[in-house]
Amino acid sequence: MSPTYQTVAKHAEMLVDGEWVDADTRRDVIHPYDGEVVGSVPVATPEQVEQAIEAADRAAEETTLSAYERYELLYHAAERLEEEAEEMAQLMTAEQGKPITEARGEVDRAVQTLKLSGEEAKRMFGEHVPMDAQRGYDRTHAFAQREPLGVVAGITPFNFPLNLMVHKVGPALAAGNAFVGKPAINTPLVSVKLFEHLDEAAQEVGAPDGLVNLLTGRGSTIGDIILESDAVEAISFTGSTRVGKYLANNSGMKELTLELGGNDPTIVWEDADLDDAAQQVIGGACSNGGQVCNSVERVLVHETVEDEFVDALVEHARSLKVGDPFDEETDIAALIHDDQAEKVQRIYEETVEAGATVEYGGDSDGRVFEPTVLSGVTPEMPAANEEVFGPLVPVIPVSDFDGAIDEANNTEYGLEAGLFTQDIDRAKQAADRIDAGGVNVNTVSGFRTDHMPYGGFKDSGKGKEGIKYAVEHFSRTKLVGFHAGKNA
């Protein structure tokens, strides 16, 4: 264990109603690469979950924070996070296992997401509604205004443990809500640190206790109580489609934002810059070990350039370094847990057995799976029709553009898609015909900025993240009309 690694160990607590609290049961947080204990967190009891929700409900009623004060809260938290960026990156790599260079990038994005959320707090504008637009009505003064929902709950996965939590708590607070957060059980420590900053900033602006709460522990315990609580008005969840459907089927009248799975295609056409496309595809498929919802999962390549493109993929895959995530040169480290590593191994072996050719990679050492390029993949093979969540790059040859579009849509998912081409008409076709929440021309499906609308179709979810869009979802519209009084 390196000296740097030892400095991030943390005995964490939960934030409930303005107090940092423990629980009778605790759970260790394990570094995926070497299995060492990073720290530990409490396992919340049902009583603590209910206490956090009740505190948030009370705070939502009591808060008088102005838009500017909500901006200050989020901006001050962002400044604290920025001051401790390296410590946060080290902590993230320790608990999640992503390369330290990627962890630093996520921290930087989280800082920007908090600041963008703060700015959006000042932009909750309404609009004038002209009553005389309908026949028979006069120019009665009326306007629509935005109001917070009340209590928003955010549930996040392991793969982007900091920025995805910020994408939930930032817009929720910006809209004037109280918040209850629940991070993934195997990557909770960066959320604890984030909420320390939010708690301090909330105190500085005079927010009531309970405006921000953080619960750690079992998703089944915490999630079911959140679902059953009448006080929770909205849930924002990022995770598996299976759990997302469970939430959708049991959430009643709650507002839901569901960012779920993907089997995202990237099309590479014969007129593309093949080397540039190959570099981006490898990056998009292998970033965070492929553990990204909008990762490149399927590469659809025009058959006339398949061999040339595969050669370029191999060259770029070979340049990636696999190893210790704290090594500054590492590009790929360990997958998050044994089950995920076993799933990637199974999909790889079944795809090869079905006839795919291994052009590069295929070796694994426990949770470490090297970048792997597979050619001759057909749509029915596991690497093409399952969400892998690992660094596999299956290449599927296609003969015409209509077939490429059809194959891109040949999935129950619809998160993001990419297309490399120099033909504007072909790009327009893809934009109109690919059934996904985002279509990215001359880049991969994995493209995302933190202020853009982000969210999928079909089994990839419902609703949109992206600060402006999340703030809208975490608020409601009220129509206010001023009609003539009796003495007018």
Catalytic residues: 259, 293
Residue 54 has which token pair?
A: 């009740």
Query: Residue length, the chain?
Result: 488
Residue 91 has which token pair?
A: 């902590």
Q: Strand 26-30 to strand 37-42: parallel, antiparallel, or no bridges (unpaired)?
A: antiparallel
Query: Which neighbouring-strand residues pair with 178?
Result: 151
Query: For residues 35 and 270, what is the distance between their CA atoms, to the nearest angstrom?
Result: 45
- Would you say 210 and 177 are in contact if contact means Cβ atoms under 8 Å apart? no
Q: Specify the DSSP class assigned to residue 402.
A: H
Query: For residues 218 and 110, what is the distance between their CA atoms, to the nearest angstrom?
Result: 25
Q: Specify the DSSP class assigned to residue 465.
A: B
Short-list 376, 155, 426, 396, CA closest to 263: 396
3-class DSSP state of 206? coil
Q: What share of the chain is helix, strand, coil (3-state, %, to 5)?
A: 40, 25, 35
* H helix or E strand, kind and range, residue 440: strand 438-441
Query: For residues 308 and 410, what is the distance between their CA atoms, to the nearest angstrom?
Result: 25
Residue 149 has which token pair?
A: 């929902």
Query: For residues 389 and 434, what is the distance between their CA atoms, to the nearest angstrom?
Result: 22
Helices 67-83 and 85-96: crossing angle, nearest 10°?
70
* H helix or E strand, kind and range, residue 283: helix 274-286
391 CB neighbour count, 10 Å cutoff: 29
Query: For residues 58 and 60, what is the distance between their CA atoms, to the nearest angstrom?
Result: 5
Q: Secondary structure of 356-397 in the HEC alphabet?
A: CEEEECCCEECCEECCEEEECCCCCCHHHHCCCCCCEEEEEE
Opening angle at CA 138, ends 133 and 142, nearest 5: 75
Q: How many CA atoms lie within 13 A of 417 on its CB side?
A: 27
Checking phi first, is residue 418 left (phi over 0); if not, alpha (psi -120 to 50) or beta? beta
Residue 84's identity, in one-letter code, is: E
